[in-house]
């Protein structure tokens, strides 16, 4: 009986709850909302990473003026070549890329042996 009363109370609470969707309050940035951007997008950025110790070498550059976007990014491949991708986006034309490789692929000889005779499985030690 107590279970029926409890379920009836829960059903009554759920039925009387406010069913309007939750809308969070607007963010506050100190001096009020930022003004909406006016005009077409315009920007230019550039970044790169070159770490001699790890061998990482990559970067990205892009500029945009309205609907015309141009950019390039590059990555040093494990085989020693530099892959460079130059791209453009012009309105609704989509992403158009030109991929180029600079340098010649190098595959160094491995410095380890793969012979089974040189590797022995250690025996487990039991106390």
Euclidean distance between CA atoms 98 and 87, whole angstroms: 6
Q: Per residue of the chain (127 residues), what is the pLDDT tens digit?
A: 888 888 888 877 777 776 777 888 887 766 666 666 677 889 999 999 999 888 889 999 999 998 899 999 999 998 889 999 999 998 888 899 999 999 998 887 777 666 655 566 677 777 6
Q: Can you name the residues that pair with 102 across neighbouring β-strands?
A: 82
Euclidean distance between CA atoms 77 and 57, whole angstroms: 9
- What token pair was written down for 120? 């022995």
Q: Do 29 and 35 contact (CB within 8 A), yes or no?
A: no
Domain spans in the chain, listed from the N-terminal domain onward: 38-104
Residue with the two structure tokens 């920007």: 43
- What token pair was written down for 125? 């030690």
């Amino acid at each position: 009986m107590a279970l029926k009363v409890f379920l009836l109370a829960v059903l009554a609470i759920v039925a009387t709850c406010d069913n309007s969707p939750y809308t969070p309050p607007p963010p506050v940035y100190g001096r009020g909302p930022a003004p909406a951007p006016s005009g077409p997008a315009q920007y230019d950025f550039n970044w790169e990473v070159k770490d001699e110790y790890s061998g990482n070498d990559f970067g990205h550059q892009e500029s945009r003026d309205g609907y015309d976007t141009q950019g390039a990014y590059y990555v040093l491949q494990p085989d020693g070549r530099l892959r460079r991708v130059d791209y453009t986006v012009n309105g609704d034309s989509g992403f158009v890329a030109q991929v180029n490789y600079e340098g010649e692929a190098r595959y160094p000889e491995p410095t380890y042996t793969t012979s089974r005779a040189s590797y022995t499985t250690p025996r487990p030690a039991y106390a």
